[in-house]
Every structure is written in C-alpha cells, then in structure tokens.
Amino acid sequence: MGVVNVKPEWSTAEAPIDRSGSSARLSWTVLLDGRDSFVQAPITARQAPGIPRVGQRHPTDPTAVCRSVEPKSLSPILWRVTASYATPSGATNEKGESLNPLDAPPEISYDFEQIQQMIDTDLDDKPIVNTAGDPFDPKPEIPYGRPLVRITRNEQEFPGAKARDYAGGRGAINSDAFKGWPPGTVRCRNISGTDQTEGEFAYCRVTYEFICDAEGWQPRPLNIGLREKKDGEMVVIKDKDGQPVSQPVALNKDGTAKEAGGPVERAGPFKVFPEKPFGALGL
C-alpha cells in the first residue's frame, strides 16, 4: 500500500482576501498504487508526502493556516486532495502580536557534557609514556567537559531530511562558523521533535542539540610508528646499534623517522565525520 506520486494542481490554486481576512485553496493530485481498500484509500491520499496537516501555516501567507484537508476520488487510484486555508480568529492579541506558535522565538540553553577522554599527551603536548619510554596501554583517561547547546523552536513539521543528514550516523560537523565556533568544532548530536496542537494551530516542537569541542572533531593521532618510509618502501626503524626499535618513534610528515628526541607531531586530520554548512539549518 502506498503513494506513487503527488503533483500540485496549479489551475485550482486560489488566494482571495476580503475584510474578514485572507483565505486560500491549494490542490494536489495523488496517484496510489491500487492496493488500498476503498476505506483506506482516501486516508492514504490525505496523508501523502507534501500534503499539509490541519493547523499548518500556508507556505507563503504567514497569517493563514490550514483549516481542512479534503480528498476526492477521481478514479480508484487517482485522488484530488484540497487544502483550505484561512486567517485564524484571534491570530493576534490586543497588542497586535502574533498568537501563532510558529512565530514564537527559539529557546536556547547551554550546558556541559562530561565524558571520560583517553589522552596521549600532556598540556605541553608531550607524549605520556612510562619510564622506559613506552605509551601506556590502555591510555590514561581524564574527565573532560564539552559545551552542549540546545536550540528549540516551533516548525510546521518535523525536518526529517535534515535530521537524517545532520544527526544521523556519526552526526555532521560544521563546515562554516556556527554560533561563534570555527569550522570543524561543532557536531550535531541530535534533532528531535514532538507534534503539538494549540488551538487552531498544529506544529512540531523541534530541538537541535550541538556539542562543541575547540580541539576539533576530525581525529589527529600522534604521528609515531615502528616503521618508516624510505625510497617509497616501508622498512623497520632501527636504533643506533642497527637493531629494530621496540617502541614507536616520532615520524616526519614524509614518513621518515625523526632523530632521537625529536618533537612528536600529529597526523591527519582524518575525515571521519561528514562536514555540512550549519547555516542551512536556519538557526
């Protein structure tokens, strides 16, 4: 059971206005696959993707909301679905302020997420090793606080596509500056929503959650190893006595081993999180 396609009917679009307010009618044709019963078919057509819900705002008239959605059969599998809009009574208060929940300003809250973080260097970026020079296994863990930002606002419907793109999988990180944080330092942790009804209005209360980390999200592990690159080949690193080293050695950017005591640098960053423009979220 399902919808094959939904197409707008431009010839039936109306948007009259008079002293009592504005009103509009928009229609779509909905083609079904024919597997619905005659009882279910009008419901399937009415709930097809792109068809508005009662209480949703008109796509271009901010004062009008959907009052009714009416499916009408044109054939056993083809339906015309018409949405009727009107300016709600009491759309503004005595001060002229909108009572539409979609016009309410977003709510922003700030917090810190406390995690246990494995570390391999100290505050001076020196490797954390034992007295023999080997790294600890497992690595030491320390408590680490990351800023958490929550933004909640009312939207016409849950932004499912954006939720999948930005919060699905590993969660996207910002490719642009976002709320004062530079690119690569903010990850979208979650996008959640709850459908609400308030008087004549129907909407979704959507919450966006972001975690910020000044160190960035793309991993940059220590550039160390037991082998180095020489003449295009990987060879075992040997000590001054010609014996293979028993502990990782700092490497140069070209993959060659550094001289003993040389500073340890980081490799990467390795792109493991998708990068997306957070400005597209309109927050």
* pTM of the model as a whole: 0.64
- Judge whether residue 162 has pLDDT over 90: yes
pLDDT tens digits, one per residue of 47-95: 999 999 888 888 888 778 888 999 999 998 999 999 999 876 555 556 6
Residues 23 and 30 sit within 8 Å (Cβ to Cβ)? no
CB atoms within 10 A of CB 45: 26
- By DSSP bridging, strand 107-118 and strand 141-155 are antiparallel
User: How far is Cα 60 from Cα 159, in angstroms, rounded to an integer?
Assistant: 18
Residues 85 and 26 sit within 8 Å (Cβ to Cβ)? yes
Residues 51 and 30 sit within 8 Å (Cβ to Cβ)? yes
Q: DSSP character for 266?
A: B
Q: What per-residue confidence (pLDDT) applies to 13?
A: 86
User: How far is Cα 283 from Cα 124, in angstroms, rounded to an integer?
Assistant: 37
φ, ψ of residue 27 in degrees (nearest 5):
-130, 150
Q: Is 232 helix (H, G, I), strand (E, B) or coil?
A: coil
The closest of 282, 280, 223 to 257, measured between CA atoms, is: 223
Name the helix (H) or strand (E) containing 84.
Answer: strand 78-86
- Judge whether residue 257 has pLDDT over 80: yes
Which stretch of 18-27, 171-180, 244-253 has the lowest confidence by average pLDDT?
18-27
- Judge whether residue 246 has pLDDT over 90: no
The closest of 3, 23, 167, 15 to 89, measured between CA atoms, is: 23
CB atoms within 10 A of CB 131: 5
Q: What per-residue confidence (pLDDT) applies to 29?
A: 95
Q: What per-residue confidence (pLDDT) applies to 14?
A: 86
Q: Is 139 helix (H, G, I), strand (E, B) or coil?
A: coil
Confidence of residue 20 (pLDDT cuts 50, 70, 90): low
Confidence of residue 104 (pLDDT cuts 50, 70, 90): confident
The residue-averaged pLDDT of 237-254 equals 85
Q: What per-residue confidence (pLDDT) applies to 92?
A: 59
The closest of 152, 62, 159, 154 to 101, measured between CA atoms, is: 154
- Judge whether residue 11 has pLDDT over 90: no
The amino acid sitting at 276 is K
